[in-house]
Amino acid sequence: MDELEEQELEQEELQQMQFDEATVLDTAVTEKYDESQIQVLDGLEAVRKRPGMYIGSTGPRGLHHLVYEIVDNSIDEALAGVCTEINVEILPGNVIAVRDDGRGIPVGINEKLGIPSVTVVLTVLHAGGKFGGTGYKVSGGLHGVGSSVVNALSQWLEVEVSLEGSIHSQRFERGDPVADLAVTGQTERTGTYIKFKPDPDIFTETTAFEFETLERHLRESAFLNAGLRITLDDLRDPEELLHREFCYAGGIASFVEFLNKNRGLTPLHEEPIHLCAVSGDRSAEIALQYNDSYNELLLSFANNVHTIDGGTHETGFKSALTRVFNDYGRTFKILKENDKNLSGEDVREGLTAVISVKLTDAQFEGQTKSRLGNTEMTQLVSSLVYEKLMTYFEENPAVARAIFAKALDASRAREAARRARDLARKKSGVDGASLPGKLADCTEKDAERTEIYIVEGDSAGGSAKQGRDPRFQAILPLWGKMLNVEKARLDKVIGNEKLLPVVMALGAGIDEDFDITRLRYNKVVIMADADVDGAHIRTLLLTFFFRYMRPLIDTGHIYIAQPPLFKVSKGKRFRYAFSDEERDRYIEELGGDCDIQRYKGLGEMDAVQLWETTMDPAFRIMLRVTLEDAIAADETFTILMGDKVEPRREFIEVNAKLVSNLDI
């Protein structure tokens, strides 16, 4: 029996042990299930028990969501026309302080509960002024849980309400008041000041706020509320105090200009097109500007809430935009009689647009508020776009011609892409005969149990094929220069000989044909060298997945393999190190005087080493690629992989100090 057979046998035994252990655990529940097992959680206890239900996660995303909930309450005051300024501070110890100049949370006694209203807002779920009262016509805080959830998940929270000449203060610890509301001073101003420290018992991963994350969110909020002044101060490091101030008279038109400029894109027309309409207690506002890229960036908001999954307002916008282009094109003979209509993808190529609607009784899907469901908004947005954009084109024929020229180019490229896609579709079936020749497939047919390694180069591919577990691990080697999809239209991407094998192997299609239910592997692992060239390969592949197979990232199927940087050995003893620090620690552990081997390429490892360090599920380290902020990701890909040099240079200069493990 050779070494590889021994490893396979050991792997089978390990998997069987894990299965046996899971079986024991599964069958060990022998307690009876009766009325004593039913728990009722009082007050905010439910929030602390299941925080993910209220803020999405207890990782960095959920941590920052605490700030957004408090700020959103202040923004609701701005929407009501009674707040002009919001100040956010990150204090030493990662304490957050938010102050506004709104009306101040009411402090009078709540008749139903017999305690001050501000105490009710901070300690009772689904309590607030947004459930049919007259305090707010428009509000993003639909569910009324924001302030109380922040209180529940904080080690402590302090509130000060400036109202009717007095400052009213109260302190809470882990959601419970530790003192009654009391008057602690006099003031001539009005507003609410909330200071809180996230609970490390809840946020076990980190309680450290990222300045850039808060900066992006607050800037976005200022764009959506023209004239509202928002400041952000980071006071944690006295030697590096940071201050930002956001106030945009142009509102979402300024937002669109910022998005294009920040990504280094050249607009096709100087001024963004700005459309707005009001119908009763509903309003819609849209800003759009075309640029020289091949990608669209469409952001939609309802009552200042970013609807990342779209909804009725996006549906109305997209359908009307396509109708405007085709009707205008037919009327003014830009589209000839025998020409096909332009598609939605054609008219949105190179489009940057922001949709902002405001309405009473907004219907969002879930507490995360990711999709707007109010059906009446489809017609309002559709009518606005069709009527006013058609008029704009008639009054600005030069702009219309420039935009139409791009759409027609996109249409021709899309037709070429359709032909290429048909070819790719024929080659990307699920039977082995239609798989790429270099693919070493696995024997397991259940996609949930399989993984594919996309490997740089034939040398590393050979080691990976020999070292893998062929039952569930497939290997696809790539070679040669890969296409940068950021600089190419879809027709060039689909027909590319370096990317086509990836499309064929995954079996789920590409772009508008992509269907994740046809995905042949549960894990798609990018395995490249731990050097600059390897980083470039990873970035090119990630750009491809982000632009043309985005659901792979959204649903967590993409992984980055982490091969070790060093092998530290002394005699027959050895360790694999993934950083300089780990290398030094292993040298000390082994007693010094070690033949330190630096791996610059995967091809330098033999099959056994590659399996042990990078592919064995029992010991390997892999990073799952996630998408915390789609806007920031889009911006980064455009800057790093696009045509413009200056934005890339600026990005590198700003982020150079953050680089680790640089290998030139």
Q: CB atoms < 10 A from the CB of 470, how many?
A: 15
102 Cβ contact list (under 8 Å, min separation 6): 74, 77, 78, 80, 82, 83, 190, 191, 192
The 8-class DSSP code of residue 513 comes to G
Catalytic residue among 345, 444, 533, 604: 533
SS (H, E, C) 132-164: CCCCCCCCCCCCCCHHHHHHHCEEEEEEEEEEC
Contact of 73 with 221, CB cutoff 8 Å: no
132 Cβ contact list (under 8 Å, min separation 6): none
Extract the tokens encoding 543: 């750009």
Extract the tokens encoding 449: 């149990």
Sign of the four-CA dihedral 628, 634, 638, 641: positive
The 8-class DSSP code of residue 369 comes to T
In what helix (H) or strand (E) does residue 54 lie, and over which residues does it extend? helix 52-55
Please give the order of strands across the beta sheet that includes 597-598. 573-577, 566-570, 597-598
Largest Cα–Cα distance of the chain, in whole Å? 87
Extract the tokens encoding 220: 């976005």
203 Cβ contact list (under 8 Å, min separation 6): 58, 59, 62, 63, 153
Exposed/middle/buried for 327, CB within 10 Å: 0-12, 13-18, 19+? middle
Contacts 24+ apart (CB under 8 A), 213-217: 213/60, 213/64, 213/629, 214/64, 214/67, 214/88, 214/90, 215/244, 216/629, 216/631, 216/632, 217/64, 217/67, 217/68, 217/71
Is 34 one of the catalytic residues?
no
Distance CA(87)–CA(524), nearest Å, equals 43
Is 486 one of the catalytic residues?
no
Q: If DSSP codes are grouped into helix, strand and coil, which group holds residue 474?
A: strand
Exposed/middle/buried for 450, CB within 10 Å: 0-12, 13-18, 19+? buried
Contact of 198 with 155, CB cutoff 8 Å: yes
Q: If DSSP codes are grouped into helix, strand and coil, which group holds residue 452?
A: strand
Catalytic residue among 456, 469, 491, 635: 456
Q: If DSSP codes are grouped into helix, strand and coil, which group holds residue 485?
A: helix
599 Cβ contact list (under 8 Å, min separation 6): 530, 563, 564, 565, 566, 567, 605
Distance CA(63)–CA(312), nearest Å, equals 30
Catalytic residue among 409, 531, 616, 643: 531
Nearest CA among 652, 629, 643, 645 for reference residue 297: 629
Is 629 one of the catalytic residues?
no
Distance CA(206)–CA(128), nearest Å, equals 30
Q: CB atoms < 10 A from the CB of 214, how many?
A: 20
Catalytic residue among 160, 529, 612, 635: 529
Q: Which residues pair with 453 in a beta bridge?
A: 475, 525
CA angle 575, 577, 582 (to 5 degrees): 105
In what helix (H) or strand (E) does residue 12 lie, and over which residues does it extend? helix 3-27
Catalytic residue numbers, as ranges: 456, 529, 531, 533
